[in-house]
Chains A and B, each alone.
Chain A
Amino acid sequence: MVDFGIPIGAGIAFGLGALGTGIAQSKIGAAGAGTIAEKPETFGLMIILVAIPETLVILGFVVAAMIMIMLV
């Protein structure tokens, strides 16, 4: 019988990470846009700051991959 728990677990790990990244990037992106509007020279820094929450979804992806590879 197919065990659905493993892919569902991997999906939750990846999905929640992505959701967290989305929420964080929406706030940082808005603040970054405001800062760039006043100080265009901060563009490079803002790109880095907006990218930082990507670590959440990458960690989620790694956990999901580990679940799928190691447990299947």
Chain B
Amino acid sequence: MEYAYVNARIRAMKSRLLDRALLEQLINKPDLDSLIAELEKTSYRGELEKAGILFSGINRIEVAIRKDLVRSFRTILNFIKGEDAETLITIILHRWDIQNIKTILRGKKIQASPTEIFECLIPAGELDEAALTELVKQPDVKAVIDLLATWGFVYSHPLTLHFKEFTETRDMMVLEYALDTFYYEDALSVIKSDESEDARILKRLIITEIDITNIKTILRVIRDRIDHEEARSYFIKGSTEFDIEKLTSLVRIGTIEGVLKKLEQTPYQFLTKVPPEYVAVEKISAFEKELENYLVKKAISQFLGDPLSIAIPIAYIWAKYTEVTNIRVIARCKASGMSEKDLREALISV
């Protein structure tokens, strides 16, 4: 594919992303109104004005940034329509489908209202706003899965297969794990048949995601004292650094300190820098945050990769997602009156 035109446009779009100084200004705003006023000076102005007709306060920001994110992703998809890269970019955008389906299923399990569930969704994948509106209206988990299957949506397969197990255990982990496994296996099978450099760039990123998911699983399994043989079934295959045997051997160590020591020889040695007090109380969220930051940094660093490859669209998608998440965090923290220290901790640092 000829990337000169597409990547030049994406780089120009990147120049409109908020820089560190502007993010600092947003953090320092005392309330939501001044935050909106500051955001109106940025590329979010158009969406904020449209959202302002129907919404106010936090909802206005939420709707505006969500629409802006979706518009950006759709623009990228339009640039590469009909090209080989479309398949690869669609794989990345499916992450949001998976995330949305998980959110809807969790919401239906705890009987949250459709409005509450919809607020947490990001319609950036194949399931657009209309499809998600229809899904959140469904009365229960089974109805959501049935509707996805009726539409012939590819991610309904793992859900249909594991629904019986879910009804027996009522454990949402069963469906979430089935979705994750299906997503990564499907992504790797598509990439495997593609010999291009673009596919290799995406594969490296997908494998990092698999590693991160598996490391999170190891830490949770150790914290919850789950048997290592049972833990084997929770790991996602496909990583080159950590095969299932290596992952199981890490679980057998039995302590978080031990696992961190083993990880010192891997790219995930940064986990050893997590404060010892978190290690002592087995606060997994601190490790999860570090792992997520690592993934985001790795994805955004693709901007420094081959300028005429898929690296640039991938980096932009992640950079935009990070920006939107950070604005959302700032807005939520301002609305709930959280301290600046807590706010800074909740941000994704890049």
Contacts and interface: CB of A to CB of B under 8 A. Distances in A.
Interface string B1-23: 01011111101110100000000
Most chain B CB within 10 A, of A28, A30, A38, A39, is at A38
B13 A38 contact: yes
Contact of B9 (A27, A28, A35): A35
A30 B2 contact: yes
A33 B15 CA distance: 16
Interface residues of B, number: 11
Interface string A6-48: 0000000000000000000001101111110111000000000
Interface residues of A, number: 11
A35 B7 CA distance: 9
B5 to A, nearest CB: 4
B4 A39 contact: no
A29 to B, nearest CB: 8
Contacts of B2: 30
B12 A35 contact: yes
Contact of B6 (A28, A34, A39): A34
A31 B307 CA distance: 11
Contacts of B15: 39
A28 to B, nearest CB: 8
A33 B8 CA distance: 8
A35 B237 CA distance: 41
Contacts of B12: 34-35, 37-39
A51 B74 CA distance: 33
Contacts of B5: 30-31, 33-34
A35 B307 CA distance: 14
Most buried by A among B5, B8, B11, B15: B8
B88 to A, nearest CB: 19
7 contacts: A28-B4, A30-B4, A31-B7, A32-B8, A34-B8, A38-B8, A39-B15
Interface of A: 27-28, 30-35, 37-39
